[in-house]
Structure 1
Amino acid sequence: MSVRDLIPWSRNNGHQVPSVFRDADRDPVLSLHREMNRLFDDVFRGFGSGLPSFGGASALGGGWPSVEISDGEKEIKVTAEVPGLEEKDIEVLLDDGVLTLKGEKRSETEDKDRQFSERFYGRFERRIPLGTEVKEDKVDARFRNGVLTVTLPKSEKAQSHVRRISIRN
């Protein structure tokens, strides 16, 4: 066996042409299965915070803005990418253990000038359940270069509930 046999090429008219389709793409059952999974994912992405997307976002908005959540020993840090917005366009709320990021992204041009756009415009709201007590009076929000960072210090009670459990053989 040569290395040439390992390369996924098909032979047409004596020339080697890359194969455009994988075997899974040619199978109509696998293709239907993949498409059904994509459709269900798109539908369920728009439901409330009970699902893993953490979003109250619609299926059209897709969970915008994208967030990153880190849970440390002493604080929870939520970072949201909101390019094209300014501080005044975003509102940060904390109510009953749920952090809410909301605002509006406005278009710079009128619709009549636009031929095609993949950009998202309009109102957004992202609700993030924290799952732990935080010191509400010490919450800090900073905005820099289109990135919003919210730092939520955990209460002493929440910090004391964390306990390392040893693993036995």
Structure 2
Amino acid sequence: MALPTRRHRSPARWGGAGLPTRSWDPFTEFQQLWDQMGRLFEQGVEADATAWRPVAETEETPEAYLVRAELPGLRRDEVNVEIDGCELCISGEIAEEDRRNTLKRRAGTFVYRTILPTDADTGKVGCELSEGVLTVRVPKTAQGRSRRISIRG
């Protein structure tokens, strides 16, 4: 017959009154769920079900919007960057390789799409592919840049 054992509470997780010391933040969980739903819908919109989406991040600076996409092993002529209205599209195709003892990379067509803000100057877009990272720089128009306004009085 086994004797009952006393369960110990971890002092780092529980306070003296038996309550958790960290509070639950529903907004963080809601934001994570919203991001996951957005990625799911963006993938569902693509016409080609076999296409994959590269890892990409966007950043806003005072002068421009930056989009960085990871495209390891690709050359400039294997990547297409297009702007149609206010939509930026990065696409291309990676051919299947026959490698025996090396890591296999994802193959097939890829597409990344994003909508640019209204203050983006699409006529002056610049791209650079360096060390497997494509950087697309979309400058802001003069009206879209933030500026400090002095207060009189």
TM-score higher than 0.5? yes
TM-score by structure 1 length?
Answer: 0.55
1:48-97 C-alpha deviation (Å, 9 max, x unpaired): 38x9xxx84878765x2111100122100111100121111100011211
Deviation at residue 118 of structure 1 after TM alignment: 6.8
1:133: how far off? 2.7
Asked if 1:147 is matched to 2:136, the reply is no
Per-residue CA deviation, residues 11-41 of structure 1 (Å, 9 max, x unaligned), is xxxxxxxxxxxxxxxxxxxxxxxxxxxxxx6
Question: Which protein is richer in helix relative to its size?
Answer: 1
Identify which of 63, 82, 92 aligns with 1:93: 82
Instruction: Give the TM-score normalised by structure 2.
Output: 0.60
Which residues of structure 2 form unaligned runs of 5+? Answer: 1-7, 11-35
What is the total number of aligned residue pairs between the two structures?
A: 117
Report % sequence identity: 31
The one of the two structures with greater contact order (alpha-carbon pairs below 8 A, sep at least 6) is 2
Q: CA 1:59/1:123 → structure 2, altered by over 3 Å: closer, same or farther?
A: closer
Aligned 1:31-50 pairs, distance under 5 A: 45-48=39-42
Distance in structure 2 (CA, Å) of the matches to 1:99 and 1:92: 7
1:157/1:44 Cα in 2 relative to 1: closer, same or farther (>3 Å)?
closer
User: Hey, what does 1:102 align to over in structure 2?
Assistant: 91
Runs (5+) with no aligned partner, structure 1: 7-40, 165-169
Following superposition, the deviation at residue 137 of structure 1 comes to: 2.7
- Moved beyond 6 Å, runs of 4+: 57-60
